[in-house]
Amino acid sequence: MKKKNILIVDDDHSMRFALSESLASCGYETEAVENGCEALLVFKKKKFDLVLTDMRMPGMTGIDVLRGVKKLSPCIPVILVTAYGTVNTAVEAMKEGAAEFIMKPFSLDDLETIVKNVLNNCETETAHKQEALQTSPGIITRDPRVIAILDMLRNIAKSKSSILIQGESGTGKELLSRYVHQHSNRRNNPYVAVNCAAIPHNLLESEMFGYEKGAFTGASQKKLGKFELANTGTLLLDEVSEMDMHLQAKLLRVIQESEVDRLGGNAPIPVDVRIIATTNTYLAAAIENKTFRGDLFYRLNVIPVKIPPLRERNGDILFLADYFLDKFGKESGAKKIVLSDKAAALLKSYHFPGNVRELENIIERAVLMTHGNHISPEYLCLEGQNDIETVHRSMSDFLPSSHLTSVNGIMTLKDAEKALICDTLNRVDGNKTKAAKVLGISVRTLWNKVQEYNVTESGSD
Ligand SMILES: Nc1ncnc2c1ncn2[C@@H]1O[C@H](COP(=O)(O)OP(=O)(O)OP(=O)(O)O)[C@@H](O)[C@H]1O
Ligand SMILES: [Mg+2]
């Protein structure tokens, strides 16, 4: 088997020599350089399996070398050697993707074990990455800031550190949370999501922490809370700012102690859960207003992620639009559908208050409504962007004008509704799922109305 090749970076001559000799004696090929610049030059020319760099050097530091190497080759493991190993440097190095940290002084045995483990992990990780790529939820982006977030999240996915994802509604916070889970070693363990905004305050506590039989009136069975259900896996606390102060205190305790107290229970239960919290409100303001605990914020915000809104991700608008056109085009069985130049320009200048979710809905609706393979601006129905004339044209094009005439020029709301349903069904070839989406009602409601109005269809579902 080919020997693994290690690049050693250290400004101290005797340390360089000692590292080279020791690793060579363990069966590795080595090359040693004395500073970061030289290291990157050599790294560009030759293939290495691992980089071992000193942290404190004149000029480029170990972290600079780590960044440079990761830019050139994101998968190469980098080990940092330091005599100044503080927790902060370790966290910083981890976020930047360091595989390990060795603190001086160390023995040859320590060095050999760490290098061997890192190289082994790297091999299994490559295998896992291939697997994860196939199963990871599709996050479509070409925005450098989002790409950097994904890189960072992959690097810290294996740790247990809490992550706080902040971003406007519809920016993809939940998607990022799943991304972390799927890139972590917990990927085959539970992934549990709690939407703190959707569960009434008085129920959230028992949902999260569970209860014992008889804990309160109506507790006829023991119930496991989300923390216990997520044990060994990941727990997403969606809209965490919606938790009341009492629950925030309990949550803080769970994070600190890694154990939960069921309501009515008499002993804490140990849990091993990676917490990811999301919020679309500005937590600093909530802390100031005393509606969110500062200490909880710091516990959750170990790895802070701020996902930019879509309007600030210029390259992403049309890139994502293309992706959704393809997706919904395929679903509706149409040929390739594209945006007209005007529609593309309109999308690029739109402010997307609902972010990617809104873009997804806009494209889905446009694909359903358009006749040909081109989407023109009126089918986009952008909030506040279509001028009255365009809206009118699109409405009159879409409304069932043929049906809107009645004997005396007057029609009831029911007649209008029936006519609209007929026309929509005709437009989507009788497909009720699509028609319901266009009309903004559930398929069941559409069914009921079809029965009620005795609508005859031109196609089938
Ligand atoms: N980069 C992306 N690529 C593909 N789809 C995306 C992307 N970002 C978001 N989406 C899609 O947009 C929708 C909203 O995403 P998600 O639910 O993750 O947003 P969110 O930030 O959690 O929103 P909210 O704050 O409203 O809960 C989903 O359908 C998701 O699949
Ligand atoms: Mg969400």
403 and 390 in a single domain? The answer is no
Domain end position, chosen among 101, 128, 155: 128
- Concatenating the DSSP letter of every residue in 230-251 gives TTTSEEEEETGGGS-HHHHHHH
pLDDT of residue 460: 38
Ligand 1 neighbour 172 (Cβ under 6 A) = yes
115 and 71 in a single domain? The answer is yes
User: What are the tens digits of pLDDT across the range 395-406?
Assistant: 444 454 444 445
Domain end position, chosen among 394, 419, 440: 394
Q: Report the candidate in 250, 158, 148, 142 with the shortest Cα–Cα distance to residue 196.
A: 250
User: What are the tens digits of pLDDT across the range 16-66?
Assistant: 999 999 999 999 999 999 999 999 999 988 889 999 999 889 999 999 999
pLDDT of residue 222: 86
Is 264 among the domain residues?
A: yes
User: Comparing 351 with 448, which gets the higher pLDDT?
Assistant: 351
Question: With bands split at pLDDT 50, 70 and 90, how would you rate the model's confidence at 459?
Answer: very low
- Concatenating the DSSP letter of every residue in 323-338 gives HHHHHHHHHTT-S--E
236 and 253 in a single domain? The answer is yes
68 and 120 in a single domain? The answer is yes
Cα–ligand 2 centroid distance for 33 (angstroms): 48
218 and 168 in a single domain? The answer is yes
Cα–ligand 1 centroid distance for 170 (angstroms): 5
- pTM of the predicted structure, to 2 decimals: 0.62
Structure tokens, 83:
């005599």
User: Comparing 359 with 198, which gets the higher pLDDT?
Assistant: 359
pLDDT of residue 37: 94
pLDDT of residue 362: 94
Q: Which residues contact 44 (CB under 8 A, 6 or more apart)?
A: 72
Structure tokens, 443:
């398929």
Is 139 among the domain residues?
A: no
Is 261 among the domain residues?
A: yes
Average pLDDT of span 325-338: 84
Question: With bands split at pLDDT 50, 70 and 90, how would you rate the model's confidence at 2?
Answer: confident
Assess whether pLDDT exceeds 50 at residue 133: no
CATH of the domain at 45: 3.40.50.2300
Q: Which ranges constitute the DSSP H helices of 46-143? A: 62-72, 87-95, 108-135
Is 288 among the domain residues?
A: yes
Looking at every residue in the chain, the average pLDDT score rounds to 85
Is 135 among the domain residues?
A: no
Cα–ligand 1 centroid distance for 379 (angstroms): 22
Ligand 1 atom closest to the CA of 172, numbered from 1: 18
Rounded to the nearest 10°, the torsion over CA 24, 25, 28, 29 is: 30
Is 269 among the domain residues?
A: yes
Ligand 1 neighbour 360 (Cβ under 6 A) = yes
pLDDT of residue 126: 61
Ligand 1 atom closest to the CA of 141, numbered from 1: 1
User: Comparing 280 with 397, which gets the higher pLDDT?
Assistant: 280
Residue 154 is part of which domain span?
A: 144-306
CATH of the domain at 367: 1.10.8.60
Ligand 1 neighbour 313 (Cβ under 6 A) = no
pLDDT of residue 91: 65
Report the percent of the chain where pLDDT is more than 70.
Answer: 88
Structure tokens, 45:
């020319």
User: What are the tens digits of pLDDT across the range 140-166?
Assistant: 999 999 999 999 999 999 999 999 999
For the purposes of burial, counting CB atoms within 10 Å of the CB of 371, is it exposed (0-12), middle (13-18) or buried (19 or more)? exposed
CA distance 58 to 36: 9
75 and 166 in a single domain? The answer is no
Is 429 among the domain residues?
A: yes
275 and 359 in a single domain? The answer is no
202 and 339 in a single domain? The answer is no
Assess whether pLDDT exceeds 80 at residue 125: no
User: What are the tens digits of pLDDT across the range 70-96?
Assistant: 888 877 899 988 876 655 676 677 777
Look at the chain and report how many structural domains it folds into.
4
Domain end position, chosen among 352, 372, 394: 394
Cα–ligand 1 centroid distance for 175 (angstroms): 6
Ligand 1 neighbour 361 (Cβ under 6 A) = no
DSSP state of 97: T
Average pLDDT of span 196-211: 89
User: Comparing 323 with 458, which gets the higher pLDDT?
Assistant: 323
Structure tokens, 449:
């109305």
Cα–ligand 1 centroid distance for 172 (angstroms): 3
Average pLDDT of span 429-445: 80
CATH of the domain at 412: 1.10.10.60
158 and 301 in a single domain? The answer is yes
88-102 in b/e form (b: 16+ CB < 10 A) is ebbeebbbbbbbbbb
Question: With bands split at pLDDT 50, 70 and 90, how would you rate the model's confidence at 410?
Answer: low
User: What are the tens digits of pLDDT across the range 163-181?
Assistant: 999 999 999 999 999 999 9
Cα–ligand 2 centroid distance for 168 (angstroms): 9
Ligand 1 neighbour 129 (Cβ under 6 A) = no
Assess whether pLDDT exceeds 60 at residue 461: no
CATH of the domain at 170: 3.40.50.300
pLDDT of residue 154: 93
159 and 300 in a single domain? The answer is yes
19 and 123 in a single domain? The answer is yes
Distance of CA 385 to the CA centre of its chain: 29
Average pLDDT of span 342-349: 93
How do beta strands 29-33 and 50-54 pair?
Answer: unpaired
- Concatenating the DSSP letter of every residue in 14-55 gives HHHHHHHHHHHHTT-EEEEESSHHHHHHHHHHS--SEEEEES
User: What are the tens digits of pLDDT across the range 222-243?
Assistant: 889 999 999 999 999 999 999 9
Assess whether pLDDT exceeds 90 at residue 252: yes
User: Comparing 383 with 69, which gets the higher pLDDT?
Assistant: 69
Ligand 1 atom closest to the CA of 171, numbered from 1: 21
Q: Are 260 and 254 in contact (CB under 8 A)?
A: yes
Decide: helix, strand or coil at residue 4: coil
339 and 456 in a single domain? The answer is no
Is 138 among the domain residues?
A: no
